[in-house]
Amino acid sequence: MLLNRILSHDLPRSRWLALALLIVLVALAVAPFAFPGVKALSVAAKALVFILLVASFDLLLGYTGIVSFAHTMFFGIGAYGVAIASTRMEPGFAAVLVGTAAALLVSLLLSLVIGLFSLRVKAIFYAMITLAVASAFQTLASQLSDFTGGEDGLSFKNPPWLSPSFEPFEAPFLGVTIDGKIFTYYLIFTVVVVLVLALLRIVNSPFGRVLQAIRENDFRAEAIGFRTVVYRTWSNVLSALFATVAGALLALWLRYVGPDTTLSFEIMLDILLIVVIGGMGTIYGAVVGSALFVLAQNYLQDLLKLGAVALEGVPVLSQVVTPDRWLLWLGVLFVLSVYHFPTGVVGRLRAARRRD
Amino acid sequence: MTANLLELKGVHTHIGAYHILHGVDFVVPQGQVTMLLGRNGAGKTTTLRTIMGLWPASKGEITFRGQPLNGVPTPDIAASGIAYVPENMGIFTDLTVKENIVLAARSARHEGELDKARLTWIFGLFPALQKFWLYPAGKLSGGQKQMLAVARAICEPRALILIDEPSKGLAPSIIQNLISAFRELKAQQTTILLVEQNFMMAKALGDQVAVMDDGRVVHTGTMAELAQDTSLQHRLLGLSLGAHA
Amino acid sequence: MNTTVVPVATPPQAIPKASFDWKPVLLLVGLMLAAIPAIGSTSSWITLTFAGLAMGLIIFVIASGLTLVFGLMDVLNFGHGVFIALGAFMATTVMGGMAVFADQGALQALLAIFCAMLVAMAVAGGVGLAFERVIVRPVYGLHLKQILITMGGMIVGEEIIKVIWGPLQIALPLPEPLRGAFFFGDAGIEKYRIVASLVGLAVFGLLVWTLSRTKVGLLIRAGVQDREMVESLGYRIKRLFVGVFAAGSALAGLGGVMWGLYQQSVTPQIGAQVNVLIFIVIIIGGLGSTLGCFIGALLVGLLANYTGFLAPKVALFSNIGLMVAILLWRPQGLYPVTNR
């Protein structure tokens, strides 16, 4: 079937999961029209970017079994690439393309170097080294202010078609004025859908299967004849490249890049949280997880706020049930997930199906 | 009759998906040396490790002094009076010879608390250990490391000593040393379960014999019987030993 | 009973040398010497070197627990930073409470700091016990899950710290009598740095003594090499591990106090920030090696101060550069622990 081929034969295998995915897809597809308002569209765009970002991380963690803390670095490279190009050159598609291409090149080289250098060592070494490298990169970005705008970041203009002030149609369409923002949104949507399908194709290919073999037992994979270093490096590089594109997309949406929009450790933690809670090694986990996460981050905090108001005055509880401390709850959920739900939301949904 | 210090009944061991021991049955009588013989891969090392609890037995019973050893954690098994000298000797290479021995002597907190008489006896058996007392064990030769491994097992009285292929890769003169040491232990009524491929050593020391093949014990009996029956030797061990002493 | 012992023919190079590997120490000394011409003035060199050594010793206190825990039980605690933060914040509470007392004189100030250290160690050690039981124990041997779950533990811990002490930066000023510096000619050596150095050296001395002179230390060193064999000798090494973990956490707490006083302020992110630094240090030193951790920490401290003076922009990468350089020389760290 056509669906089978599009999804590279990696079907959801669960009614519930398929339903969830469909809801996410449709909701994101019609977001500008179904959920009018600046905030709602922002949430949708952020969800899209995260879907791509986390899915690319799943390739590395879920399928290859490598923990890397440098993912946000590649995310940032993509964003800064577009930003720097758009500020140095005339803003326009040329700048965006040049910026993205340059960013991809930098990511390629960097991920190659990191991969070849550290993938020969134990996983723990690698995790620590990527932590150090990412941290250094973050400081670098805020230090090279001439180049990167330092702490303040860079604001820039999008290509004309993607600019918010671009309104090609006088009359509103389906109740919404079509402007550059909507075009940007659909650009992001298309790119993300295509790349996620590409990721599905990658993980279901012979290459992807070797990755999984390496994840399960690298000693054995090496014994069979696969040069694990090569495969791991490739996984590292691909994952970095996809993250870079996600960064470029984010830059186009925000029209601003700073050290904390892409490089912060909080974002790295968010990625980890999503991929674990969503379900490692599934790609769909990234989709469902990111959507849930971004929704929660923006709307659950309102819920927590209500809770805080209700518990006002209660000594400890009021401090704990506040929107500021939502990371606490997320952290607890994360720890519980690693133990009790190692297959994440996706795994649970699939298990539910088997019980039917 | 001498009581059986150690008994294995129908012991199975799985390592991951591999079924290594398929129902091992034999006994180790008190005060005697029992040889565990067999080809490479027969399951001898696995048997010792299972007794020590390093690999759990999936089925069957292991009894030591009448008490079950199944599911008991390794440190407790060791503390109940069993010393283990593994195939790779388990020498702590960064520690000195002295520190290796102090560690093995559970009741000693430092060198001063070691049993002097026993130490003298050990030095008599293995003079090299006294010579290299303060040197890192990692710098010793293979034979000296083996001596240290055995010395660790005997620095305090133990009811049962499990030894895995001590003669592997050692020069004949050192093997003679080991044989003398084990003979002395025997004289002190120590029970030994010895895995050996060196049949000469086995003949010199063994009282009882258990032969393994493919994860099972295929023959038990006295060493005297086995030593005299060359066709049995050939059948069980695939060796033709002739009259080599 | 007469034993005929066949004399063992001693091979030609019979006596093995119990030699100590001096090269990393020489590297340390070399760095200090190389800095003299680079910096120019002797007085600046003295100030910077002392500052670097003090910083290095504080880092050592924090990292020592982590490297032992890893070496002994193969557990990498990505949440080690939470104990640092806990210690630092406990210090703000204790020092804040004793502020008036501490300002009365040098002795009182030292006493106050001591109290802060003891309280921090007790609290951090206690939390460490709970952390080991709840978070670490279920994932022994599963490296991937360890990384994830200890990281999760740190997130939760950091948030709880924010609940108790608030999310903002808190000042941790030195008591009046300990501010300022001693001057030897032009060279100024800050008073607090001397205190920190002494504490750091004391911790190092205590660790080395425990490891080489006590049975517990013997067990730890042996366990780092071959856990299975230690168990086969009859020791419940798992119990020992809990103790080492708690001790490591307590040391991190102590380090947190010292670090907080060094920076004179404390933020909830302090754990995550120092995390990166200590990982670099234990990689440089060799996972599981106390001496390596010591030399590595001193190298990092010195380099940070030298480059901070000479080329501030480079300072940020000096750590990573050092790590890369050392790994190229010795891929397993300065003092690799020969493993099982």
In this structure, what are the phi and psi dihedrals at residue C6, rounded to the nearest 5 degrees? -75, 120
Give the per-residue pLDDT at B185.
Answer: 86
The tens digit of pLDDT for each residue in C244-268 reads: 999 999 999 999 999 999 888 898 8
* Mean pLDDT (whole number) for C148-162: 88
CB-CB contact of C88 with C270 (8 Å)? yes
Mutate to test the interface with C, among B92, B121, B190 (most CBs of C within 10 A): B92
Alpha-carbon distance C281 to B244, whole Å?
A: 60
Residue type, A131: L
Chains A and B share 3 or more Cβ pairs within 8 Å:
no
Closest chain C residue to A62 measured between Cα atoms? C144
Tens digit of pLDDT at every position of chain B (245 positions): 457 888 999 899 988 778 889 989 989 998 889 999 888 888 899 999 999 999 988 889 999 988 898 889 999 999 999 999 999 989 998 899 999 999 999 888 888 888 888 899 899 888 889 999 999 998 898 889 999 999 999 998 889 999 999 988 788 888 888 888 888 888 888 899 999 888 888 888 888 999 888 888 888 888 888 888 888 877 777 654 433 33
Q: Is B25 exposed, middle or buried (0-12, 13-18, 19+ CB in 10 A)?
A: middle
- The domains found in chain A, sorted by start residue, are 2-355 (1.10.3470)
Nearest chain A residue to C273, by CA: A135
**Judging by beta carbons within 10 Å of its beta carbon (0-12, 13-18, 19+), is residue C123 exposed, middle or buried?**
buried
User: A: neighbours with 3+ CB pairs under 8 Å?
Assistant: C
Between B and C, how many CB-CB pairs are < 8 A? 106
Map C166-184 to HEC letters: CCCCEECCCCHHHCCEEEE
User: Do the chains contact at B143 and C8, CB–CB below 8 Å?
Assistant: yes
pLDDT digits (tens, 9 = 90+) for C305-319: 888 888 877 776 788
- Spell out the domains of chain C, with CATH numbers in brackets: 41-329 (1.10.3470)
Of residues A140, A143, A269, nearest to C155 (C-beta): A269
Q: For the whole model, what pTM was predicted?
A: 0.80
d(CA C227, CA A210): 33
In B55-74, the residues whose Cβ lies within 8 Å of chain C are: 73-74
DSSP string, A54-122: HHHHHIIIIIT----S-HHHHHHHHHHHHHHHHHHS-SSHHHHHHHHHHHHHHHHHHHHHHHHHHTTS-
C touches A, CB cut-off 8 Å, minimum 3 pairs: yes
What's the rounded Cα separation, in Å, for the pair A57 and A51? Answer: 10
Q: What is the pLDDT of residues A78-108, one digit of tens each?
A: 999 998 888 888 878 888 888 899 999 999 9
pLDDT bracket for residue C17 (50, 70, 90): low
Range 125-164 of A in CB contact (< 8 A) with C:
125, 127-129, 131-133, 135-136, 139-140, 143
Does residue C28 contact residue C295 with C-beta atoms inside 8 Å? yes
